[in-house]
Amino acid sequence: MAAAQRDLPKVLGLQDIVLFTVSAILLLDTLAASASIGPSSLFWWLFLGAFFLIPIGLITSELGAAYPEEGGIYVWIRRGLGRHWAARAVWAYWINTAIWLPSIFVLFAGVFARLFGMEISVSHQIAIGVALAWATALLDILGLKIGKWVPNLGAFFKIVIFIVLIAAGWRHGQSHGFANPLSADAFRPEWKEGLKYVPAIVYGMLGFELVCAASGEIRRPARDVPLSVLISGCIVLALYFLATAGILAAIPASDIDIVEGLIDTLALFFADAPHGGAIVTALGVMALYTFFSNGATWAMGCNRATAEAAAEGELPSLFAIRHPRHGGPIGAAIMMGLVCTTVLILYGRIATSNSDLFWSLFSFSAALIMLPYIGLAVAFARLRFKDAAAARPFKIPGGAPVALLLAAMCFATLVFSIALFLYVPGEGPQRETIIGFVVVILIGEALIRIGMLESRLRRRR
């Protein structure tokens, strides 16, 4: 571990870790996407909760407690599979966020326009996105002592919005009748149509490990990481499931729009309420803040993991630069801002609508983010044998058979999700997504070679 990282301030307690994790995983855009599947999405939340969310949460708990080192997922994969595979994983981790951030910021612009009844051109959407990208970079540079309050507040706002959707949806259903049939038959999965949205639900379950990238800044990681996974996991799954039902209570699945669905739902729920417009505006402003906090949360985690990889010579040294006082990953944050800005400009030129821009970015980055988690599952299984003597303050019960089963469940879910991002049932291969996927991986290989070359040159001096 780099010397500068050993002296990082210990600023994250249990409450901070729980809220950071909720901020990372609980996504309003994922909620709208899952609701658009229809009532069968409720089945997918429960099924994938049991088949993926619980296994990945248990794996993260064990690794986070056993190896509480700055870098998180990079360190775990490095220990299990070696430095080069860890570097490949962390590159996919980092570039996914740099490509995904623009989609969140475009979503911010779309919801802002819908909330205040404005028309915003694509060029103005891009301008808003660029401003938010550099605000995110600045926040990351300032360190977690200051930056942690952004995901903390974002998580609180998300919980408020989700609870409102649950309560108001039930009230609307009782008063006006449900917009979608919520019977046992309706919960049955629609395989042909529903499968292509399943990866979006899996995507909405990723992020338990994110805060572990800042393990050097966690006060008691061995105790708090497993406990935070348990608490945040229960919060996330319960709110996703119940809020999806709330949206489906008010709006037919076929009418749910990925960008405008949240505001439409809130407006419908509070149409007859005293000061309903003010309530919708207040909740909409909270939602806008959560879009920013989403990006900030993921940038904080991914940039720290990348900085650790670069500090060990696995990526160009530029990514390793840290703020001398706050400890923020200056190099990785600035590079992410540059990539985010470039992606916004490039995609803005080919976007035909807000939704097109969102989905093109989302599909491209979502396929990438699955790769590090495949490495995580494989590394976990290997460490159970390779480093069996390591102290594990939290250890998944059941021995090696259960550990291997959980790793296999995660591996299968992730590979299947990537396949569905690259080949959508009923639509065929997604050529643009496949090309982008391959190109970004090749760029990562080039950067890893540069990092290795720099490392060799430093050793010769």
pLDDT in tens, 65-91: 999 998 899 999 999 999 999 999 999
pLDDT in the model for residue 123: 84
With CA atoms as reference, report the closest residue to 421 among 359, 352, 344.
359
| CB count in 10 Å sphere of residue 426 | 8
Tell me what percent of the residues of the chain surpass a pLDDT of 90: 52
Range of the domain at 360: 3-460
End-to-end CA distance of the chain: 21
Distance CA 309, CA 34 (A): 34
Q: Which residue has the tokens 């990438």?
A: 368
Least confident of 43-47, 92-96, 207-211, 452-456: 452-456
Distance CA 307, CA 1 (A): 11
Q: Is the dihedral of CA 417, 53, 106, 322 positive or negative?
A: negative
Would you call 428 helix, strand, or coil by DSSP?
strand
Write the single-letter amino acid at 254: S
Count of domains in the chain?
Answer: 1
From residue 1, give the alpha-carbon distance in Å to each of 308, 311, 407.
8, 8, 27
pLDDT tens for 311-332 read: 998 999 999 998 887 778 999 9
pLDDT in the model for residue 118: 85
With CA atoms as reference, report the closest residue to 140 among 348, 319, 296.
296
Q: With 50 as the cut, is the pLDDT of residue 94 above it?
A: yes
Output the DSSP codes for 309-345: HHHTTSS-GGGG---TTT---HHHHHHHHHHHHHHHH
The chain-wide mean pLDDT, for the chain, equals 87
Q: What is the CATH number of the domain that holds 47?
A: 1.20.1740.10
